[in-house]
Chain A
Amino acid sequence: MIQPLTESSEKRFTLTPGPDGLIETQTLEVSIGPQHPSTHGVFRMDCVLDGETVVALKPVMGYLHRNHEQLAERMAWLGSMPYTDRLDYFNSMTNNWAYALAVEKLAGIKVPERAEYIRVIMAELSRLQNHASVIGFMLQDLGAWGTPLLYAFRERERILDLFEAASGSRMMCNYFRFGGVRVDLNDAMVAAARDITAKFPRFLDEFEKLLTSNEVLLARCQKIGILPKELAINASISGPMARASGVDYDIRKVDKYGVYGKFDFRVPLGDIGDVYDRYYIRVLEMRQSIKILEQALRDIPQGPHIAPEVKLRNFKIPPGDGYGRVEAPKGELGFYLVSDETGKTPYRYHVRPPSFINLTILEDMCLGHKVADVVIILGSVDIVLGEVDR
């Protein structure tokens, strides 16, 4: 028997239309993080939700702030090199290169050619494993419970084996020095690098076959998190995220640091700037990296691996300041260094982290989308908290 509605229950079950004719609701404030299933590190987002739609989003960071910059002020110039490994802990080689480049720029050190080739090989291998891992993590967030991630990690382990042979450590390589690299690559290592480069396209083909025209990926990633080109430039976005929005700026082509001027490679650009573009541009960049690696491994000359005139102890830099930057897999990684009269330790050591600045427009990209999309958009921004917080 159906009970008649009492007065109080009638109030509960009658829906009051709001000013625009729809139901009046309240917004919900959700704090996503700092511990959350998406494996992007200790990062928190304060979302204000209207139902499932994001109305406002404020990123909160600093949960991994390890005051790397203050530590560098107390150490010699070379002493900060192991700490740069721990900035973007996926690509320690690139971080080392950015710091070495900034110091070499400030001190006017010339790097021998073989060392430059070794640096390019290490940086491009680093880019390969970073892009593969990022795609793996993004798909992990999408719900592909492990498979792309484990495939990517399989390739990553091969590259890490080479890093371990060359530098002694899988991840925190500390391989670069001012004026070159720490140890030379012997023939076995160069052969291993050639082997990796030869086998990688097959892995990429398999990856693409599974992912690029995958219905779920297409449905969930297209037209999500669109970043317009002008906003990308104005918000200092760099790296694959900017290029996916059509910004034609790759520091390897603009600054031509190292020996990048000698290699023939293209810079892929996206046109919409949504999550799918950011995924696909990383695949295309991996293919271009393989092209660079093939050329570098073919043309690598013999020679010294470090500039012999650079002192390891009592290394001093004349007073002044300078900014050096590289195209890290996540964007523009730069170091601003200030040297004072004593010249033995940096007076000011500042890292320009790509992930930190790429988060500026996280809110803009997420507005209007659902909560589930926020996680994917964050995955496509490709942040590493070691870099965001330093």
Chain B
Amino acid sequence: MPIIDEGLKSELQKHGIFVLPIEQLYNWGRKSSIWPLQFGLACCAIEMIASAASRYDLARFGAEVFRATPRQADLMIVAGTVTKKMAPQVVRLYNQMPEPKYCIAMGACAISGGPFKDGYNVLKGIDRYIPVDVHIPGCPPRPEALIHAIMTLQRKIAAQDLEKGRRPRWYDKDAPSEFAIPSYGDHDLEPPANAEVWQPPRNYRDVTLEEVKKS
């Protein structure tokens, strides 16, 4: 983002002229009106509804309406456990959202499978198939945590650049905006994870099994 001299800025402001980079204006518009997709899976959905209710009003932050259709939504809050049976539907919905789109993984289950990690039907984190922007830990995270996540996402959007080389994903013609949908296999989803989106975290301290056994 181009940097403007502060002195010049304040001088012009005294005359009622505001100078700001086009990205700031553009990002301000986008971050202040994020419309989430109404997509609650499990218990975290109730905290999401509670944060949209009158006590922890989420509409103050721009999430005025929760759209039922992905075509009109900007943000998908994956709230709750993603099971393998549901995973193709989640990816399909993400694909149907128009760019620019964001994804928040709310709750331990959406991040990594959570307390149900050892499940034959539990997908160990939605980031196996789609890119996630903000992760909220908790089980369930309090409504304040979800509000903090929305604010973090707003800061992330505010920092996005339009200049070549630093553009976000959706401005890059070669970057994918739709991701492969897994299919139901005999024992598991096929593929179990999307290799372009997620690699299992490799331990930088690579120690092989033989070495462990010897020690």
CB-defined contacts of A62 to chain B, threshold 8 Å: 83, 85, 121
Q: Which of B2-10, B48-56, B127-135 contacts A (4 or more CB under 8 A)?
A: B48-56
**Set B41, B50, B120, B139: member contacting A157, Cβ < 8 A:** B50
Give the residues in chain A near B42, CB-CB below 8 Å: 41, 64, 66, 86, 89, 385-386
Asked if B116 contacts A150 (CB within 8 A), the reply is no
**Interface residue? A153 (CB, 8 A):** yes
A63 nearest in chain B by CB position: B86
Instruction: Tell whether, in the assembled complex, residue A153 and residue B43 are in contact, meaning their CB atoms are under 8 Å apart.
Output: no
Q: Which of B43, B80, B122 contacts A67 (CB 8 A)?
A: B122
> What 1/0 flags go to A23-47 for Cβ under 8 Å of B?
0000000000011110101100000
Asked if residues B41 and A66 are in contact (CB atoms below 8 Å), the reply is no
Q: Is the interface of A mostly helix, strand, loop or mixed?
A: loop
Are A35 and B85 touching (Cβ within 8 A)?
no
B41 nearest in chain A by CB position: A42
Q: A35-B89, A35-B93 are in contact. Are A83 and B83 (CB under 8 A)?
A: no
Contact yes or no, B119 A86, CB < 8 A: no
B142 touches A66 (CB 8 A): no
Contact B41 A64 (CB under 8 A): yes
- Residue of A at shortest CB range from B84? A65
A266 within 8 A of partner (CB): no
For the complex, is B201 an interface residue (Cβ under 8 Å from A)?
A: no
Contact B50 A70 (CB under 8 A): no
B93 engages A64 (CB within 8 Å): no
B89–A34 contact, CB under 8 A?
A: yes
Task: Count B interface residues, CB 8 Å.
Answer: 32
Can you name the residue of chain A whose Cβ is closest to the Cβ of B116? A66
Q: Is A231 an interface residue (CB 8 A)?
A: no
**A66 to B121, Cβ gap below 8 A?**
yes
* Chain B residues whose CB sits within 8 angstroms of the CB of A67 once the complex forms: 116, 119-122
In the complex, what's the smallest C-beta–C-beta distance from B145 to chain A, in angstroms? 12
Interface residues of A in 298-352 (CB under 8 A from B): none
Q: Flag A139-165 by CB within 8 Å of B: 1 or 0 each.
A: 000000000011001101100000000
Please name all residues of chain B whose beta carbon is closer than 8 Å to the beta carbon of A70 when the two chains form the complex. Answer: 119-120
In contact, A171 and B122 (Cβ under 8 angstroms):
no
Contact of B139 among A39, A41, A172 (CB under 8 A): A172
**Considering the complex, which residues of chain B in the window 77-114 have a beta carbon less than 8 Å from any beta carbon of chain A?**
80-81, 83, 85-86, 89, 93
* B47 interface residue per 8 A CB criterion: yes
Q: What's the nearest-Cβ distance from chain A to residue B132, in Å?
A: 18
Chain B residue, CB-CB nearest to A145: B65
Q: Please, how many angstroms separate the alpha-carbon atoms of A153 and B58 in the complex?
A: 14
Q: A64-B86, A67-B120 are in contact. Are A150 and B54 (CB under 8 A)?
A: yes
Hey, which chain A residues are within 8 Å of B115, CB to CB? 82-83, 86
Verify A66–B81 contact, CB threshold 8 A: yes
Interface assignment of A90: CB less than 8 Å from any CB of chain B: yes
Q: Which residue of B lies closest to A151 (CB)?
A: B54
How far apart are the CA atoms of A90 and B93 in the complex, in Å?
26
A71 within 8 A of B: yes
Instruction: Give the nearest-CB partner of B139 in chain A.
Output: A172
- What is the bound-complex CA distance between A385 and B86, given in angstroms? 13
- Provide the residues of chain B in CB contact with A39, threshold 8 Å: 38, 40, 45, 49
Asked if A287 is at the interface of the complex by the 8 Å CB criterion, the answer is no
Closest chain A CB from B70 CB (angstroms):
8
Instruction: Tell yes or no: B125 within 8 A of A by CB.
Output: no
Contact B83 A64 (CB under 8 A): yes
Task: Provide the residues of chain B in CB contact with A253, threshold 8 Å.
Answer: none
Closest chain B residue, CB of each to CB of A386: B42
Residues in B with CB closer than 8 Å to A154 are: 53-55
- Name A66's contact: one of B45, B53, B119 (CB within 8 Å): B119
CB of A68 within 8 A of chain B? yes
* A170 sits at the interface (CB 8 A): yes
A residues at B contact (CB < 8 Å): 34-37, 39, 41-42, 62-68, 70-71, 74, 82-83, 86, 89-90, 149-150, 153-154, 156-157, 170-172, 385-386
Chosen A-B contacts, 11 in total, with CB atoms closer than 8 Å, are: A35-B39, A41-B45, A63-B83, A63-B86, A63-B89, A71-B119, A83-B115, A153-B49, A171-B47, A172-B43, A172-B139
Give chain B's interface residues, CB within 8 Å of chain A. 38-43, 45-47, 49-50, 53-55, 68, 80-81, 83, 85-86, 89, 93, 115-116, 118-122, 139-140, 142
